[in-house]
Structure 1
Amino acid sequence: MSSAGPVNLIVNGTEHVFDLPRDTKLIYVLRNDLGLNGPKFGCGLGECGTCTVLIDGVPARSCVVTLKTAEGRTVTTLEGLGTRDALHPVQAAFIDAQAAQCGYCLNGMIMSATALLARNPTPSVSEIREALRYNLCRCGTHVEIVRAVMIAAGVAPEATLAEAAPS
């Protein structure tokens, strides 16, 4: 274990100071210390995407990111995107497209889609699929998830729905 010491994090716009070992994984701090349950613990290896957060706007797997790595950077979780009264456009689109079954993958899908749309406001279906390909979904709502991202981007999903179907 690395030594404990004050670590400053900005999470969802609020600065926090933690006196924890610097090699503590970010997901534990988010869930256990801050009570943020958007990021889910899935594989613990950074492979499934359920724990995805944005660090300085870039998707990152919080199960493999340490406090030391996140120190001084801006961390955004699902809870930091919008509120119940004012959903982020991507959150609203996932609801409109009914893009959930079990919902476990949604955190990673929404966070990855948000990052994609920030850097590319009008992605093609293939760009959407590429941006989401490392987020595992076992329920099979892939077409609805792509549709949700298209809705958030302001693209008529019906026009290219056939393109969104898994090949």
Structure 2
Amino acid sequence: MHTLAHLKATLIAARINHELSVDAWEQRVATVETYLLLHQDIFRNDPELDEVLKELNRVRCSPWHLQKKTEQLHAEIWALRGELRRLRTVRRSCVHIRSVLESWDDLSRSRQAISIANGGGDSENSGDAPQTVTALRDGTRLPRPEEWYEKVRLKTERELKRIRRVLDKQRSLV
């Protein structure tokens, strides 16, 4: 069984050891806190308990470790900003695809109107897009936009789910 002096020494070592990673530092502090909670009946009347609790508070507020934790959180924030930037790019792509599909619909309606005006009924040019490629007003040629749109939509949904998982993980850490 650990004595309070041993716990205090562990905390002092955690406070002054600047080679510890933030995770290792937090693990040591959590271990001491857990040990104190589990054995609080034993240590309740021990005069060294106040010293250990003061040292625990010093460790939690150690400027070096707080700076390292801040740097770690900043790195995670920058990573999330990168994810957000990528998501915005995907969203812009979806907006572009939507405008292309609307242009496709406009072209289809124009073809149908021309076909009806020329006296044609349901001919092969009645507004149905060809199965392979078609030309839009601006000369862009696209393969089957419905499949393309669906593919991008699914990719966007996967990205959103992944980013939500990352954000949920970050919220749980704070």
The two structures share one fold, judged by TM-score above 0.5: no
Q: Scaled by the length of structure 1, what TM-score is found?
A: 0.21
Pair member with larger Rg:
2
